[in-house]
Chains A and B, each alone.
Chain A
Amino acid sequence: MSSLFNDYQPGSFFDEMFSAPDSARSHYAGITGSIGTLSPAEYAARQRTADTVFLRQGVTFTVYGDDQGTERIFPFDLMPRIIPHKEWERVESGLIQRITALNLFLNDVYHEQKIITDGIVPRELVESASHFRPEFKGVKVPHGIYIHICGTDLVRDGKGEYFVLEDNGRCPSGASYMLENRNAMKRTFPGLLQSLPVRPVDAYGSMLRETLAHLAPLSVIDPNIVVLTPGVFNSAYFEHCYLAKQMGVPIVEGRDLVLKNDRIFMRTAKGLQQVHVIYRRIDDDFLDPLVFRKDSLLGVPGLVKAYQSGHVALANSIGTGVADDKAVYALVPKMIKYYLDQDPILPNVTTYLGVDPKECEYILANLPNLVVKAVNESGGYGMLMGPHSTKEEQTEFAERIRANPRNYIAQPVLQLSRHPVFQGDHFEGRHIDLRPYVLYGDRIQVVPGGLTRVALKKGSLVVNSSQGGGSKDTWVLWDDE
């Protein structure tokens, strides 16, 4: 049968859709039978329809380093990524286990530090993490939860095994793209979504609101929730607005909030209105000029004081970045064992720590075969991709690592799984990852699916939007047994 996928070559990678040329995995059967029968021109027309939806909706992000503040569309590839039910359940369990352990860890390091005294995690490693907030030690946070919204990056290796690449416990972004991708799919392939048992994601707004409301002081029946944004010039401003709209809560900037009697109020046209929960999309550093960066104009003077006194709650809490530190990441399996007395369901990627002299030696000796990452960078910055690097770059990185070994980790190069992506008139394999969103309120909930990011450049392993990445809709199927 002639099909759009006839000439598709899965290559030597783990391909999400094809186990061999012309042999689609069973959970993609619904797609090959429908999308596969379109002509390239018809398919291209659908892709254009989807692009128009994004343009019209203004689904954009801002590219820094461009003084016009250019807003760009996050490229969207129409071909959905499908995850079968059983596979998803495992991912979901693993994420719940992981966010539980991370929160226990954060609560511990900001209080008794038992995991340090018990010798599981070295004190220097925690206290030298640049996002560790010693000034925040001993502060009680609502329900002992630190990370309420987590966007964990998962990848699959050459065998299709899922690995956790990093935890984003500060202000993970991208949920709006997840929602908009689904909307675009609904417009382009309405029948397909109806005929397949795809789990919906559109409850995210109400789930998020519920999660945030759970943090409000116990005495408040109908809490006032706000989204705190750095402002219109922030690259994720679209997302901040979008989520505020989905939740039906106001979006505010630092200057809209004032401190009074240890409480936070927003300045409305009618007067001061108390705020109980702040979903902040501002980094710790800029949150409160009285405590963190003095020059911050984005934050609210006194916010930390109000938070400590329990009159207002922050999501995520302060100091969660210590768990994002890539050297601390390497210890998460140990945390799971320590706090939960279990083995991790989702494994980490093998990680060599610069801070460990033996492992550091290994890193320096194997630079061409490793990915070296600075522990506090995200978004694909501060990285050395060993196999694609020049001798000069390697020498330069080696010096940097020797100068500050604590600041670097290294991982073997993973052959990320690939997925068919439409390129002009045919499909080609591109590497992808997955960022599911975990919400920790009264219960832990994982949104079925998440954001599948695609490295659109041929052969590239970098999926970040700032570096030429795109995204796909992610379909988690209901069990159809």
Chain B
Amino acid sequence: MRFRVFHRTRYLYRSPVRDSYNEVRLRPATDDKSRLEFFLLKTHPPVRLQHFRDNWFNYVHFFDLPEPHSSLTIEAQSTINTTSPYLDGKPLGVTFTTLKTDLDDMAQPFLGSSKYVDLSPEVWRLGIDIREDRNDVFEVAEAVMHHIFREWSYAPNTTHAGTHMNEVMQTKCGVCQDFAHVMIGICRSLCIPTRYVSGYLYNGPDSHLRGAQASHAWCEIHLPGKGWFGLDPTNDTLADERHIKIATGRDYHDAAPVLGHFDGPPGATSALQVELEVRRMNG
């Protein structure tokens, strides 16, 4: 499917701030499943943009804004062509045994705790309960996804960008970012390499999938010899061609669309406006 994405984030400051440094991950990822045809990133006030590839091969654009400014707009436009990784059906047949023996080095970082993910005993116990006696890794991952969808309630404004997974385990409510963290935690405690995916979700002209009002998040598990496969616990669905991948990492912190800091008077907090449009195109 081809999509045109328009994503504008605007930070408004009560009084002018200065020395802002920001890293943004807004360039859709390209791999054998998706092709980026057009991408344009710009800011207001205008800055000089530069980029690097981070540890996880994400494109990171960064910029300095030393002059005082009372708002910052970051606007990304892209045209992307996606295909579903599930065209050949579900990647069944990988057992927990092969998971251990054939583990890829590159999957190693996605097995332990990270900034927002904690492999606590509660998570581990929950993982065991969900797995029951199943031995197929993908089936188990799906079961984890179903479980989260069933037991957690989708409740915007109950959490914030910096909410830790442990808190979500208690409250059992949150948004996609939180569900992704919980799923990552459970899967990792079962020794399934799992990573966080930041991206966009095409909502369709009339469907009501969650997560299309802001940028979306889900997770991907790694199956030796088969690659990464996405699961979206927020919508209880496999991440197919409607899921447009931007960045991946251990958790939100690695893949967040915008991370930045600035000098301003204490509490000179900002207002945030997000405008997101994902349109399906011909061809």
Contacts and interface: CB of A to CB of B under 8 A. Distances in A.
Q: Does chain A touch chain B in the assembled complex, meaning CB atoms less than 8 Å apart?
A: yes
A438 to B, nearest CB: 13
A114 B38 contact: no
A93 interface: yes
A341 interface: yes
A85 interface: yes
B45 A144 contact: yes
A340 B46 contact: no
Given A93-B79, A96-B77, A481-B283, A144 B44 contact: yes
A108 B46 contact: yes
Q: How large is the interface on A (under 10, 10 to 19, 20 to 34, 35 or more residues)?
A: 20 to 34
B115 interface: no
Contact of B61 (A104, A341, A345, A443): A341
Contacts of A478: 282
Nearest to B66: A112
A97 B44 contact: no
| Residue of B48, B67, B281 with most chain A CB atoms under a 10 A cut-off | B48
Contacts of A89: 37-38, 79
A85 B37 CA distance: 14
B49 A85 contact: no
A143 B8 CA distance: 14
B157 interface: no
A114 B48 contact: yes
A442 B175 CA distance: 29
Contacts of B77: 96
Given A89-B37, A478-B282, A481-B282, A338 B48 contact: yes
A118 interface: yes
Contacts of A338: 48
Contacts of B6: 443
A89 B78 CA distance: 12
B38 A339 contact: no
Secondary structure at the A interface, as helix, strand, loop or mixed, is: helix
Contacts of A103: 46
Interface in B1-59: 6, 37-42, 44-51
Given A85-B283, A96-B77, A481-B282, A340 B44 contact: no
A176 interface: no
B46 A97 contact: no
Nearest to B59: A341
A114 B67 CA distance: 11
A340 B77 CA distance: 12
Nearest to B61: A341
Given A97-B40, A100-B42, A341 B50 contact: yes
A67 interface: no
A76 to B, nearest CB: 30
B20 to A, nearest CB: 14
Contact of A104 (B37, B39, B42): B42
Interface in A88-103: 89, 93, 96-97, 100, 103
A479 interface: yes
A107 interface: yes
Contacts of A339: 42, 46-49
Interface in A4-48: none
A140 to B, nearest CB: 10
Given A85-B283, A96-B40, A479-B282, A341 B51 contact: yes
Contacts of B41: 340-341
Contacts of A85: 282-283
A44 to B, nearest CB: 37
B46 A104 contact: yes
A56 to B, nearest CB: 37
Contacts of B40: 93, 96-97, 100, 340, 342
A333 to B, nearest CB: 15
A479 B283 contact: yes
Contacts of A341: 41, 48-51, 61
Contacts of A115: 48
A9 B67 CA distance: 60
B22 to A, nearest CB: 14
B42 to A, nearest CB: 5
Interface in B77-92: 77, 79
B46 A107 contact: yes
Interface string A52-93: 000000000000000000000000000000000110010001
Contacts of A342: 39-40
Interface in A142-162: 143-144
Interface in A102-137: 103-104, 107-108, 111-112, 114-115, 118
B25 to A, nearest CB: 14
A195 to B, nearest CB: 18
A107 B67 CA distance: 14
A341 B39 CA distance: 11
A93 B37 CA distance: 9
A313 to B, nearest CB: 16
28 contacts: A85-B282, A85-B283, A86-B283, A93-B37, A93-B40, A96-B38, A100-B40, A100-B42, A104-B42, A104-B46, A107-B46, A108-B46, A114-B48, A115-B48, A118-B48, A144-B46, A338-B48, A339-B46, A339-B48, A340-B40, A340-B49, A341-B49, A341-B51, A478-B282, A479-B281, A479-B282, A479-B283, A481-B283
Interface of B: 6, 37-42, 44-51, 61, 67, 77, 79, 281-283
Interface of A: 85-86, 89, 93, 96-97, 100, 103-104, 107-108, 111-112, 114-115, 118, 143-144, 338-342, 345, 443, 478-479, 481
